[in-house]
Structure 1
Amino acid sequence: MCGITGIIHLDGQGSVDRILLREMTALLRHRGPDDEGFYEAPGVGLGHRRLSIIDLNTGRQPMGNEDGSIQVVFNGEIYNFLNLRKQLQSKGHLFRTRSDTEVLVHGYEEWGENLAQHLNGMFAFAIWDARHRRLLMARDRVGKKPLYYTTNGNRLLFASELKALLCDPTVKREIDLTAIDDYLAFLYVPSPKTIFKNIYKLPPAHCLVLENGHVQTRPYWELRFAPNSQDERHLANQLDERLAEATRKRLISDVPLGAFLSGGIDSSAVVAHMAPWMNGEPLITASIGFAEERYNELAFARQVAGMYETQHHEFVARPRAMEVIEKIVWHLDEPFGDSSALPTYYVSQLARQVVTVALSGDGGDENYAGYIRRYWHNMMEDRLRSLVPLPLRRGLLGPLGRIYPKYDFLPPPLRLKFLLTNLSCSHEEAYFRDMSMFLPETKQALYSQELKRRLGNYSPAHHFAPHFEKVKHCDLLSRILYIDIKTYMAEDILVKVDRMSMAHSLEVRSPFLDFELMEFVATIPATLKLNGKVSKYILKKSLEHRLPADILYRKKQGFSIPLSDWLRGELRGYVEDTLFSRTAKERGYFDYQEVEKIWQRHLRGITDYSAHIWALLMLELWHRVFVD
């Protein structure tokens, strides 16, 4: 894995700021501690930090073609690079290295702006074409590798991480208040926006072309759901073979390689598929657990590790988040409220002590319908909606939801307010509510009058609209899975894994996110993903000869931490000193009487507001790291 940077003058004239380029690149050293390289020419400068994985001796970047007219900086891995290399050699291209980077050089010569469509891997790259004065940038299909950019005056700057762009003192740190509203809904800022105005994320599966002073972005891939009619056994066998192949492709490495192992079905599946390909080498696994037993899955991880005789490593996390939390905020670049970033940081730290590359089970939930409670309730709600026309539901259930007592204060059997409100909505509106941490009505109480005035009628729900439009003719579950893949997976899960692993210079590969495998899984009927109340049904069937039933069919636990207990215990003072400081209150975002209510309700055990409090805490810490 690597870090890339660049400065491009839109008019193609003048020399780039060499000091700035080096500062930007140096700030990404954690992404690539092994080497550093630069390319400079009139109007262009490229920088690269390298984490050596393949072709340790000759894979240096920036890398050019024979006459130097094409220059590439690249972050990621191309898993089909050997096949592409053969194709390109058959067309007369000469290769000087064994690295996957050189495939991009000659691939661009052959396919131009269509290069990304030929790649199977995780990547973010930038290619400078000196002859045409053209910059081509692209991100992989699902968003494993990040890429930020900004146009500032007569220049375009890009980098693997937002913080590198902030090295330029002329790049304004002007906070986009709508991004704060987005963050408090989703716990992340969705692409292409960032927390700062005029700084953007290139969305997954998109290319950017800069030519003749103009910047254009376009998508190059789409995931399409078109269920086939093959029988269950055949589909399960096909899935087993395709997941095995996706795993095999991710074992190419010239450095030590292992796997994350939580004991859940996804990471266990990856370990089970890795084992046959290890050729006598020990399979190294890393797990994280907690002292609080109800959050601890180490026993299941040990069971799978024992089955496959892995070289197993464990770490027990304790509530000392204040020791690393500001480091985590720095690595995340933007406000990010998913508290599972903390265990991901720790398990990456543990894995990096013994390997440089780790395979993970990311993508299993979103592709195979793993979030059983949410998906099942979505299906049930939609069946109820189909019985009553929307105008009648809005007129009857909407008012009932508004007057029904707030569910936070009531025992579970009486928590009907949320359900009534959801049933009064369209499916799209209900999905937005399901995915929102702070609901619109909660924000109205939380926000200061000034923030509400400045936001006006803005709603984060609009981020989902174009995605729903693309799958409007699909069945309900397929629509939900598609939106999850495009939003929650790309903007939360994969951001968390990239930043927390790169904090320790660890490369993480995800077999479930092989795009060819994903395209196949998208053809599996929804009823074979969520079968009654059995989630990931077809995946479990495909694994029955590899994993025991108590691993495959146990209740999903999720990668969560004992945050509620920690906030009431060891972290209480840290939260109060930070969240209720004078500095925090003077930012003017919130009505602090409402923040105090949320905090006190949590402390008294009335409501578990741990995720809300963590989100507010991370927002305040982000300001301290990047703004103050």
Structure 2
Amino acid sequence: MCGFTGFIGNTGNTPAVLEQMMDRIIHRGPDSSGTFIEDEAALGFRRLSIIDLEAGHQPLYNEDESSVLIFNGEIYNFMQLREELIGKGHVFTTHTDSEVLIHGYEEYGEELVKKLRGMFAFVIWDRKEKKLFAARDMFGIKPFYYAQMNGTLLFGSEIKSFLPHPHFIKELNEQALKPYLTFQFPVLNETFFKGVFKLPAAHSMTYQNGELSIQRYWSPEFQPEAQPLEELVEEIDQVVRESIQAHRISDVKVGSFLSSGVDSSYVASVLRPNKTFTVGFSDQNFSEIDNAKALSDELGIENVNEVLDPDACFEKLDEIQYMMDEPHSNPSIVPLYFLAELARKDVTVVLSGEGADELFGGYAEYDTTPALKKYKQLPAIFRKPLGSVARILPEVRGKNFMVKGGRPAEDWFIGQAKIFQEREAASLLKAPYKKGPSVKEIVRPYYDEVKHEDDITKMQYLDLHLWLVDDILLKADKMSMAHSIELRVPFLDREVMGAAAKVPSNYRVNDIDTKYAFRLAAGRALPEESANRKKIGFPVPIRHWIRDEKYYIQIRETFSRPETAEFFDQKEILKLLQDHYEQKANNARKIWTVFMFLVWYKKYFS
């Protein structure tokens, strides 16, 4: 697990520039570094040693050194690929998973990515052809950013590594703010830094003679099979257990994050690490420590836990937003930062439960209430007109019921977070920032790809492309790497996806539960209480914090700064804050979303 950065383009004093870029991401790889510089190509690498501690240095070359690799991630089927490539005559000099990429590219070219099982972002520079090939894993577990500026292609694991480059132009992307206020995360392909883009999950990229080309190599498909439930459950359990075993491969200590939810509990129960790690808050209903400790005790595992202090959380907000690269207002980022810090004292690798909800149908939003199910049994000729009328109503009681009951998912579901209504977000913003793409423009391309599927599948598909990549996985990567710890997600695996794709929607979500078949599989490893426990989702007491005078004053001062007027109608955001403080409304998530943007902006632009 590591980080990389680099560029293709002529720059005076290239070694010094590259070194400065690498220094910005030293947290991703504190163990060692390496560089490749030749003509216009400059590749920089920071290493966190996990496998083959002695020989796993990068950049890495093929036999005749005509190609050079820098790579962030883990390839879990590297032993099989290694044997296959040795059989074809390739000569290996290390026992790392990295080396299968450079020889695999020699053998299979760009088709290599379709053979990989793992999490990855990598760059291969072909020295003869003067051609760059890069790729990102199928789920987007590892980040990859790029920018073309002043005749130079910049690329890397984190945007902050671009800042020292003399050709980099640091400019705010005005179009990113409005969608962020609705989604709570940076949802656009172009980041908050104008001209800096994310390479999407399951895409590869080539760059040659100044021409950039991006291709998609995989897309998730749900293809339910008419199998007995017991067979599906058996297959899920087998593939999950096998994936967890594959994800434990390491030459360093491995632990497990553990909440009270079924996903991380399933991982911990199969993995049986020496230690699990949990954080929580002292506020009632905002801690999962007791449940995590009870399961750990039952499994005979030590649970290392910590109750977080709000003062410490507020002190780290600017550091957290800096590490995220872009503004991000999911409150769970805060405890995740401290959880990674806690775990790093004991281990270098942790397994976690991200991805099961998206693959197996675990979110409450995928379910419908009994009343809504009855309503949906009415003829569509009655429901659709009511749903259409409801969409243009203000936020009144019953509006969501009529919209959800009368319209398909694409007309109302945008993912797991919806902070500001689009109209409200625009009303708070100053003119230059009202522009951004509409919510419909953002979600429509994904819905168009699954327009003939049922609503549950549509919602999962959207979450796999937006929420999972740019909220769940982004914060998991950035907060773990902030503390030089590798986080692995065994549910987000090629083989597990194959099993999930077979599950009919009524075994994903039904009258009994969400993630129904998956819970039955987890029940084979877990006590019944843990397998059926409802999701809490890393709760953070921001609602209470903002009503604490100390933190209220801190936020109010931020909202009142002159630079805040560049973006927001200060009277309106101060009213949101005051109404919440006086308990006239619960505006916590809205306030936090505005506040996090301003914290981030000050860190990067002030």
TM-score category of the 2 structures, normalised to the smaller one: over 0.9
The secondary structure found in structure 2 opposite 1:54 is coil
- The CA deviation at 1:185 is 1.4
| Aligned counterpart, 1:7 | 7
Given that 2:416 and 2:467 are in contact with CA atoms closer than 8 Å, whether structure 1 keeps it comes out as no
Superposition pairs for residues 538-617 of structure 1, below 5 Å?
A: 538-569=517-548, 570-585=550-565, 587=566, 589-617=567-595
Distance 1:382 1:219 in 2: 40
One of 249, 259, 269 as aligned partner of 1:252: 249
| Aligned counterpart, 2:67 | 70
Given that 2:388 and 2:403 are in contact with CA atoms closer than 8 Å, whether structure 1 keeps it comes out as no
Distance 1:14 1:291 in 2: 53
* Change beyond 3 A, Cα 1:246–1:423: same
Given that 1:108 and 1:115 are in contact with CA atoms closer than 8 Å, whether structure 2 keeps it comes out as yes
TM score, norm. by length of structure 1: 0.92
- The CA deviation at 1:169 is 3.7
Distance 1:376 1:20 in 2: 55
Distance 1:213 1:373 in 2: 45
| Aligned counterpart, 2:343 | 351
One of 213, 224, 236 as aligned partner of 2:221: 224
Letter in 1 for 2:586: D
Superposition pairs for residues 219-298 of structure 1, below 5 Å?
A: 219-275=216-272, 283-298=274-289
Q: Answer with 548-557 or 66-75: which moved more.
A: 548-557
| Aligned counterpart, 1:516 | 495
Distance 1:101 1:16 in 2: 29
Given that 2:279 and 2:306 are in contact with CA atoms closer than 8 Å, whether structure 1 keeps it comes out as yes
Q: Answer with 31-40 or 515-524: which moved more.
A: 515-524
Distance 2:11 2:326 in 1: 32
One of 68, 78, 85 as aligned partner of 1:88: 85
One of 192, 197, 200 as aligned partner of 2:194: 197
* Change beyond 3 A, Cα 1:135–1:69: same
Given that 1:423 and 1:430 are in contact with CA atoms closer than 8 Å, whether structure 2 keeps it comes out as no
| Aligned counterpart, 1:392 | 385
* Change beyond 3 A, Cα 1:595–1:88: same
Distance 2:310 2:4 in 1: 34
| Aligned counterpart, 1:299 | 290
| Aligned counterpart, 2:301 | 310
Letter in 1 for 2:175: T
Letter in 2 for 1:601: D
1:213 aligns with 2:210: yes
| Aligned counterpart, 1:29 | 26
For each residue in 1:301-338, what CA deviation from the matched residue of structure 2 results, as whole angstroms up to 9, or x when unmatched? 01210121112200111212221111101100111111
| Aligned counterpart, 1:436 | 418
Distance 2:108 2:415 in 1: 43
Given that 1:71 and 1:127 are in contact with CA atoms closer than 8 Å, whether structure 2 keeps it comes out as yes
Given that 1:242 and 1:517 are in contact with CA atoms closer than 8 Å, whether structure 2 keeps it comes out as yes
Given that 1:14 and 1:42 are in contact with CA atoms closer than 8 Å, whether structure 2 keeps it comes out as no
* Change beyond 3 A, Cα 1:517–1:391: closer
Q: Unmatched 5+ residue regions in structure 2?
A: none
- The CA deviation at 1:429 is 2.5
Letter in 1 for 2:496: L
* Change beyond 3 A, Cα 1:526–1:230: same
1:370 aligns with 2:362: yes
Given that 2:236 and 2:518 are in contact with CA atoms closer than 8 Å, whether structure 1 keeps it comes out as yes
Given that 1:578 and 1:617 are in contact with CA atoms closer than 8 Å, whether structure 2 keeps it comes out as yes
Letter in 1 for 2:300: E
| Aligned counterpart, 1:623 | 601
- The CA deviation at 1:556 is 2.2
The secondary structure found in structure 2 opposite 1:216 is strand
* Change beyond 3 A, Cα 1:488–1:151: same
Letter in 2 for 1:127: I
- The CA deviation at 1:375 is 3.4
RMSD: 2.1
* Change beyond 3 A, Cα 1:58–1:473: same
The secondary structure found in structure 1 opposite 2:574 is helix
1:120 aligns with 2:117: yes
Q: Unmatched 5+ residue regions in structure 1?
A: 276-281, 408-414
- The CA deviation at 1:389 is 6.7
Distance 1:247 1:382 in 2: 42
The secondary structure found in structure 1 opposite 2:255 is strand
* Change beyond 3 A, Cα 1:518–1:433: closer
For each residue in 1:225-252, what CA deviation from the matched residue of structure 2 results, as whole angstroms up to 9, or x when unmatched? 1100110011101111000000000010
The secondary structure found in structure 2 opposite 1:623 is helix
Given that 2:390 and 2:399 are in contact with CA atoms closer than 8 Å, whether structure 1 keeps it comes out as no
For each residue in 1:283-302, what CA deviation from the matched residue of structure 2 results, as whole angstroms up to 9, or x when unmatched? 21101121012111211101
Residue-pair matches, total: 603
The secondary structure found in structure 2 opposite 1:551 is helix
Distance 2:106 2:138 in 1: 21
- The CA deviation at 1:427 is 2.9
* Change beyond 3 A, Cα 1:191–1:117: farther
